[in-house]
């Protein structure tokens, strides 16, 4: 599970990062709302932990903008603002939970576990549709327009991950963790992305070579699915 923590209190941010890493979460951090918003837009996270009082863009604005953009990632407000009105506003802006500082470590971890479990079940629908691609989660079939894309089980898992995170940069390590598990060699990601690209390109334009790939390489980081 990958978590983004956004807080401008450096000592608390470092403590949260250490705590979550000890629980085997992958953790990224941001120190202001503008940076946090951009990271949340560009990457795939299972949970955001957000302070309210942030420089440049406060937590309420950040969460409201993400929800307006269509992001459904679970969000936990972690803040010193403790009035009922503050809690109501936070939840109304789109947060899934609200925890007041100072907090008990075990309570925070329990809420994180609950929200990350929810993240795994976020999509309660039977299909994902991105651009001209449609993925049927029940039949485990991918379509490009009305044509079926024949994939192996691992290729299907890989493409499902891309379709759940369109236009976001997915690091190779995250892809490896979600599809194969971290005990596998990172080179397996590159190989399967190559296989998947070839199948997609052949389906999209079987009579033409040099069709631009819908899975873009982000050098030194990973890959990104471009909507078509």
| 99 CA to centre of own chain | 22
Highest CATH level, class, for 127-225: mainly alpha
Predicted structure pTM score: 0.62
pLDDT per position as a tens digit, 199-220: 988 888 754 555 567 899 998 8
Categorise residue 70: left if φ over 0, alpha if ψ from -120 to 50, beta otherwise.
left
Per DSSP, helices labelled H in the chain are: 10-22, 33-42, 59-68, 84-92, 105-120, 153-164, 172-179, 187-204
Cα–Cα distance, 132 to 142 (Å, whole number): 11
Per domain, the residue ranges of the chain are 2-120, 127-225
Highest CATH level, class, for 2-120: alpha beta
pLDDT per position as a tens digit, 118-132: 655 544 457 788 888
pLDDT at 48: 95
């Amino acid at each position: 599970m990958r978590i983004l923590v956004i807080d401008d209190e450096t000592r608390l941010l470092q403590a949260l990062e250490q705590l979550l890493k000890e629980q085997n979460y992958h953790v990224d951090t941001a120190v202001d709302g503008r940076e946090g918003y951009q990271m949340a837009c560009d990457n795939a996270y299972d949970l955001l932990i957000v302070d309210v009082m942030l420089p440049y863009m406060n937590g309420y604005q950040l969460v409201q903008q993400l929800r307006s953009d269509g992001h459904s990632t679970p969000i936990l407000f972690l803040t010193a603002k403790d009035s009922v009105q503050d809690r109501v506003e936070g939840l109304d802006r789109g947060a899934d939970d609200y925890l007041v500082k100072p907090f008990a470590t075990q309570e925070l971890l329990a809420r994180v576990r609950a929200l990350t479990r929810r993240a795994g079940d976020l999509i309660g629908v039977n299909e994902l549709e991105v651009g001209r691609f449609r993925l049927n989660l029940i039949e485990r079939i991918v379509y490009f327009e009305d044509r079926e894309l024949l994939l192996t089980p691992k290729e299907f898992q890989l493409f499902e991950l891309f379709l759940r995170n369109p236009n976001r940069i997915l690091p190779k390590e995250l892809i490896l963790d979600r599809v194969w598990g971290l005990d596998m060699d990172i080179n397996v990601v590159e190989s399967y992305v190559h296989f998947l690209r070839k199948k997609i390109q052949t389906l999209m334009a079987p009579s033409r070579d040099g069709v631009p790939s819908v899975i873009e390489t982000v050098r030194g980081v990973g890959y990104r699915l471009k909507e078509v």
